[in-house]
Structure 1
Amino acid sequence: MPVDRGGVDVTADVVIVGAGIVGAACARSLARAGARVTVLDRGAAASATSAHGEGNLLVSDKGPGAELELARVSLRRWAELAGELADELGPRFPSVEHEAKGGLVVVTSGDGLDGLRTFASAQRAAGVEAVELTPGQARELEPDLAPGVVGAVHYPQDAQVQPVAAAEALLASARRAGAVVRTGVEVTGPLLDGGRLTGVSTTQGDVPAGDVVVAAGPWSGDVARRLGSWLPVRPRRGMVLVTTPMRQRIRHKVYDGDYFAATQSAGAELQTSAVVESTQGGTVLIGSSREQVGFDDRLRAEVLAQMARRAVAVFPFLARTGVMRTYLGFRPYMPDHLPVIGADPALAGLWFATGHEGAGVGLAPATGDLLAAALLGFAPAVDPRPYAAGRPALDALRPGAPENDHEGARP
């Protein structure tokens, strides 16, 4: 049902700022629940962070807690969505390329194996399928693994989609449910009525709305400021190498045991780990890197070299493989490593769906459903409190909070 805003004249029940995969998932969930939705993006749909990722749907890199709970729900939703979207949009629409390929985490030292076993045991207690393998069993799954691999854990639940195709499919489904998607439209400020947000002003005119959802990825902090709010999301840059096409030799998503530590680090310095997987087009994607350098979009050869060395340490045959291209993107980093999904604690009418860092593709379906449930008054699939914009970990960073370095907390 459309949202009742007490007779306020609105163009849309909900305006979503951001047409990446998270904004697309929110648009679909809201529109299919009956809300009038308008999606705005200053660029093309799915052209920023969503276009520069690997499409990972992972539980293997998440320890027990709120993010893992959201990921488990999203994994199930992605498996359903792959069929739903194909049926709804028909064979002429590109496939989202959902592939339940599974993940394999490998280690090359005894200490690393002990740490991986402890981590996997905790995940199993939280409901994750995590199967410890001997080196021989690991090579049965991936025959080209380096001889130095001393152990591994197999995660059958890990999967992958093509992120741009998936975002476009979600937007197409939202349009079929009545949503309007407007690209080339930049939000410049708020529309306010009695202290409540009632829409946005843009480079293409005002867009009145009952509620506004910021789903602008690493740019969400800037959008929040323009609307009179605050959010400590920051860009975290990552790079990817793409090989020339080859016959498929890598069957799973394979990464080394340092990957989890890199994803959870709060440091701004460069961190790299080996993350290697094939695509349906025959290329191999090689990551990953993480560093906080603002929106600096210059490729760094030394970063690419570190990633290549780490990948070759896992799959030696890659040393003889050509690189076709490289690209980089910016992940929306939150200081406590949890996304923000829900209402702004200070400005009525403002909502957030952002801060997923490198997990936005994987967490998008559950994020859209959770946001729609909160906005429309439905029962949520997971407890929304850990993702609240007013949670204690973020309130401690808010400008004006006691003993807070204000400038350091700003994105």
Structure 2
Amino acid sequence: MLKRHSLDAVIIGAGVVGAACAYYAARAGLSVAVVDRGPVAGGTTGAGEGNLLLSDKEAGPELDLALLSTRLWRELAAVLPEEVEYEAKGGLVVAPDETTVNALRSFAAGQRATGVDAVEVGAGDLHDLEPHLAPGLAGGFHYPQDAQVQPAQAAARLLAASGAELYLGEEVTGLVRSGEAVRGVRTPRRELLAPGVVNATGTWGGRIAALAGVTLPVLPRRGFVLVTEPLPRLVRHKVYAADYIADVASESAALQSSAVVEGTPSGPVLVGATRERVGFDRSLSTEALRRLAAQAAALFPVLAGIRVLRTYHGFRPYLPDHLPAIGPDPRRPGLLHACGHEGAGIGLAPATGCLIAAALTGAEPPLDGGPFRPDRFDESGPHRRHP
């Protein structure tokens, strides 16, 4: 078996989070390799819509992470090729009644205190932002900082810019250990040795943790997306109903759906998002697709007669407290985690990469990583967090 020495870090996972970890680690002067059992963006990243959202996050650690990422994505957009399709389109959250408007108003007040730009939009002004919206809505909130990228291209371009060695089509079957410490990875073809190993495998993060003899309770949360025929730009922003925010925060395993509708630079309209915990069941759910189509047409009646060309689905990496696991694992020196971002991994990838690079180099982190500690589930059940 081949052995590759003189690496500073091995990153497992060539999705957008792993790519961002490689990019920022390389910028910090580290020698990096990335290994993945499939192609670049072959997992959850390739099944994502590319959301870069602040609008769906309440004030707290995840929003802090998202605010940092928002700034970093803008910086990346200036240096990455146009193929990443970064678009600062903004988001629009709409409400069907005054009760929901009031709830959104309270939600937005907490966000504004952290630096989010949330602008209330009255019922009479909604159609200035989105002319094809359904009539009768009570109002909403505009989030100018929400944006979008093409996720697979973003991952590919970040990896290319990192200069990392890529080992694709090689599954990590074991971790190289020295006592309690992790010192590399093992695939059927080679060993890659390094003082730092980063678990950026998304929904499969629990499996890599298990190879190290530790527990990380990542579960798959399946979601579907509809893709329409190419259209003129009917939808200007990322538009969704307020109940989407509750779906994101829900702990339910049952099917939940709330339409998120957006146009793309190439023409098709994307319609998400469903959530359900059904393991890694890849079968098509006609009920999920029916709900999405109906909810999208309710928001934008003009879509009712539009053809859906295809659908795709993926698995969001869900952790019980809805926060990702980011940083060193104190239970296994040399092992770091960067997974469990659920549906926000694309948006949170740059900030995650910065936190991982700081941990690998011993630099001052850009924000407090305490809430994301990988071992926080060890004490008193899955919702216990370390102070």
Fold-level similarity (TM above 0.5) = yes
Cα distance in 2, alignment partners of residues 377 and 348 from structure 1: 14
CA offset digits 1:71-123 (Å, max 9, x no partner): 0010010001011223xxxxxxx521111000000011222122111111221
Contact 1:50 1:163 in 2 (8 A): yes
Alignment correspondent of 1:184? 169
Alignment correspondent of 1:396? 380
Amino acid at match of 1:43: G
Contact 2:317 2:343 in 1 (8 A): yes
Task: State the shift of 1:394 in Å.
Answer: 5.0
Amino acid at match of 1:320: G
Contact 1:22 1:368 in 2 (8 A): yes
Cα distance in 2, alignment partners of residues 342 and 69 from structure 1: 16
Alignment correspondent of 1:131? 119
Alignment correspondent of 1:329? 314
The answer to whether the aligner puts 1:314 opposite 2:302 as a matched pair is no
CA offset digits 1:195-233 (Å, max 9, x no partner): 211111112122222111000000110111123221011
Which of 55, 75, 80 aligns to 1:80? It is 75
1:35-46 aligned at under 5 Å gives the runs 35-46=30-41
Relative to structure 1, the CA distance from residue 395 to residue 47 in structure 2 (aligned partners, 3 Å threshold; closer, same or farther) is same
Alignment correspondent of 1:96? 84
The answer to whether the aligner puts 1:263 opposite 2:251 as a matched pair is no
Which of 166, 170, 194 aligns to 1:209? It is 194
Alignment correspondent of 1:12? 7
Alignment correspondent of 2:205? 220
Alignment correspondent of 2:326? 341
Cα distance in 2, alignment partners of residues 278 and 238 from structure 1: 19
Alignment correspondent of 2:135? 147
Cα distance in 2, alignment partners of residues 226 and 380 from structure 1: 27
Task: State the shift of 1:274 in Å.
Answer: 1.3
Task: State the shift of 1:293 in Å.
Answer: 0.5
The answer to whether the aligner puts 1:234 opposite 2:219 as a matched pair is yes
3-state DSSP class of the match of 2:251? coil
Alignment correspondent of 2:285? 300
Alignment correspondent of 1:5? none
Which of 344, 354, 368 aligns to 2:353? It is 368
Task: State the shift of 1:144 in Å.
Answer: 0.7
| Cα RMSD, aligned residues only | 1.3
If the length of structure 2 is used for normalisation, what is the TM-score? 0.96
CA offset digits 1:217-269 (Å, max 9, x no partner): 00110111123221011110000000000111100000000011000011111
The answer to whether the aligner puts 1:164 opposite 2:148 as a matched pair is no
3-state DSSP class of the match of 1:358? helix
Cα distance in 2, alignment partners of residues 23 and 107 from structure 1: 36
3-state DSSP class of the match of 1:324? strand
Amino acid at match of 1:169: R
Amino acid at match of 1:375: L
Cα distance in 1, alignment partners of residues 195 and 26 from structure 2: 14
The answer to whether the aligner puts 1:282 opposite 2:267 as a matched pair is yes
If the length of structure 1 is used for normalisation, what is the TM-score? 0.90
CA offset digits 1:279-307 (Å, max 9, x no partner): 11100000110000010011100110011
Cα distance in 1, alignment partners of residues 173 and 213 from structure 2: 11
Cα distance in 1, alignment partners of residues 54 and 300 from structure 2: 23
CA offset digits 1:26-69 (Å, max 9, x no partner): 00111121111110000001111111011011100000000000
Moved more, 188-197 or 310-319: 188-197
Moved more, 288-297 or 119-128: 119-128
Which of 96, 109, 130 aligns to 1:121? It is 109
Task: State the shift of 1:379 in Å.
Answer: 1.2
Identical-residue share of aligned pairs (%): 53
Contact 2:212 2:332 in 1 (8 A): no
The answer to whether the aligner puts 1:105 opposite 2:89 as a matched pair is no
* Unaligned stretches of 5+ residues in structure 2: none
Alignment correspondent of 2:368? 383
Cα distance in 2, alignment partners of residues 227 and 81 from structure 1: 33
Kindly tell me the number of residue pairs found equivalent between the two proteins: 380
Task: State the shift of 1:345 in Å.
Answer: 2.1
The answer to whether the aligner puts 1:56 opposite 2:44 as a matched pair is no
Relative to structure 1, the CA distance from residue 107 to residue 394 in structure 2 (aligned partners, 3 Å threshold; closer, same or farther) is farther
Cα distance in 2, alignment partners of residues 395 and 74 from structure 1: 30
Contact 1:39 1:181 in 2 (8 A): yes
Contact 2:95 2:137 in 1 (8 A): yes
Task: State the shift of 1:396 in Å.
Answer: 3.2
The answer to whether the aligner puts 1:30 opposite 2:25 as a matched pair is yes
Cα distance in 2, alignment partners of residues 77 and 208 from structure 1: 30
Alignment correspondent of 1:404? none
Amino acid at match of 2:258: S
